[in-house]
Amino acid sequence: MRSDVTIIGSGPAGLATALSLESAGLSVTVLERAPQAALAEPAFDGREIALTHHSVSVLRNAGAWARIPPVGISPLREARVETGRHNHPLTFDTNGQGVEALGYLVSNHMIRQALYEEAMTRPGIVIRAGVATRRVRDEGESVTVLAEGGDVTSRLAIAADGRFSEIRRLQGIGAIVHDFHRTMLVCRMAHESPHHHVALQWFDDGQTVALLPVNGGASSLVLTLPPEQIEALRTMEREQFNENIMARVGNRLGAMRLVSTRHVYPLRAVYAHRFTARRFALIGDAAVGMHPITAHGFNLGLKGQDVLAQEIAAGMARDGDPGSAAVLRRFSMRHRLTTAPLFAATNGIATLYTRDESPFRYLRRAGLRAADSLAPFKAAVTNMLIDRGKTA
């Protein structure tokens, strides 16, 4: 089988890339290990994605945004960052920004389904599900992806198979892996007090809590603790779990009850040593897997594929080659300039705000109070959260 581009992995980054490239006139084959049914109707996985305005534009241009039910799109009107109890918060809002929301919260499984449904309508995209990819073989002017059910030869192969990418490893590309020795539990909690579409990131002693506002009088709970404590919460009886969570959040939203399944994810950040090899590129978490503290991992994945699509379009205009060395060099340079500073800063923030020793507690309390009084700093962070960046 032949196509212009082969993409390994049908997560949001992989499918968004397929749609961008198909719109540019390329034929795309997507290989995915999961079965077709899991792609057509992805299960709720607990993750609520804070989409920037740029990411919404990418999804809208791809045709996926219109496929997300409006009830599943929750505007984020304000973000609060707190540390300890009864301390001065750092707040970000839309005042003076000319937009109705900082961003929009949408469940990960809804984004996946919308992208898949749109991809299935495109004649230039072939999705092969239930297929294990063995490796990528360099053929000089092309590459062949060796896969179950038939190999695929193309001018470019793209790995979008997650932060622990097996294809990345097989291509000889290493990665920085930062293990925070913490685990994250995510679920949805209904509550009696309104959230007013305000997101809370709370660095309390011994735990980190995020409450992300979703429609229907509920919030997505993101709780970070040592792995053994998370495991106890994951298996805890429902009523006891509700009481435990209300105590942890200081009853700030009144009575709370679990209304979803509980999901657990280890906290590890990943940054690939290289984003490209000969006729091969990494996108999404396979390139950069962020700590979720700044909520930019998913958005960086969409931004990365947007940059790659731009460079491929330029390469096609120059010499008709989507996988040329010039295309990959320019993509790698641009994506590294965007991601490297943010990756380093995010890991530094995560370290500062999750350590409980006295110097760290003092620094973050003093830091939040000082930051909240600095208008230029708040404006810069607000603009980063909104991100009106142009799409291809």
3-state SS, residue 371: helix
Provide, rounded to the nearest whole percent, the portion of the chain with pLDDT above 70.
86
Give the whole-angstrom CA distance, residue 334 versus residue 321: 19
Q: Is the pLDDT of residue 347 over 90?
A: no
Domains in the chain: boundaries: 2-73+105-177+268-356
* pLDDT of res. 33: 95
Q: Is the pLDDT of residue 363 over 50?
A: yes
Taking residues 205-230, what's their average pLDDT? 93
Any idea of the CA torsion for 215, 46, 92, 350, to the nearest 10 degrees? 170
Q: Is the pLDDT of residue 358 over 80?
A: no
Give the whole-angstrom CA distance, residue 356 versus residue 341: 25
What string of DSSP letters covers 322-351? TT-HHHHHHHHHHHHHHHHHHHHHHHHHHH
3-state SS, residue 325: helix
- How confident is residue 385, by pLDDT bands cut at 50, 70 and 90? low
Q: Is the pLDDT of residue 259 over 80?
A: yes
Q: How many beta carbons lie within 10 A of that of residue 65, not counting itself? A: 21
* pLDDT of res. 100: 84
CATH class of 2-73+105-177+268-356: alpha beta
- How confident is residue 378, by pLDDT bands cut at 50, 70 and 90? very low
Q: Is the pLDDT of residue 295 over 80?
A: no
* pLDDT of res. 297: 80
Give the whole-angstrom CA distance, residue 12 versus residue 19: 11
- How confident is residue 276, by pLDDT bands cut at 50, 70 and 90? very high
The phi and psi torsions of 125 (rounded to 5 degrees) equal -115, 130
Q: How many beta carbons lie within 10 A of that of residue 298, not counting itself? A: 24
Residue listed under structure tokens 């079965």: 35
* pLDDT of res. 377: 47
Mean pLDDT of the chain: 88
Which of 186, 244, 257, 264 has its CA nearest to residue 218?
257
- Retrieve residue 6's tokens: 């082969």
Spatial contact of 73 and 106, defined as CB atoms under 8 Å apart? yes
- Retrieve residue 19's tokens: 């749609």
Q: Is the pLDDT of residue 386 over 90?
A: no
Which of 346, 6, 323 has its CA nearest to residue 161?
6
Q: How many beta carbons lie within 10 A of that of residue 303, not counting itself? A: 24
Which residues make beta-bridge pairs with 212?
220
Q: Is the pLDDT of residue 366 over 50?
A: yes
Of 88-92, 232-236, 298-302, minimum mean pLDDT range: 88-92
Taking residues 106-122, what's their average pLDDT? 97
Q: Is the pLDDT of residue 351 over 70?
A: no
3-state SS, residue 204: strand
* pLDDT of res. 140: 86
What are the distances in angstroms from CA 229 to CA 28, 165, 182, 240, 266? 44, 28, 10, 14, 13
Spatial contact of 127 and 10, defined as CB atoms under 8 Å apart? yes
Q: Which residues contact 349 (CB under 8 A, 6 or more apart)?
A: 293, 294
Region label for 267, one of left (φ > 0), alpha (ψ between -120 and 50) or beta (otherwise): beta
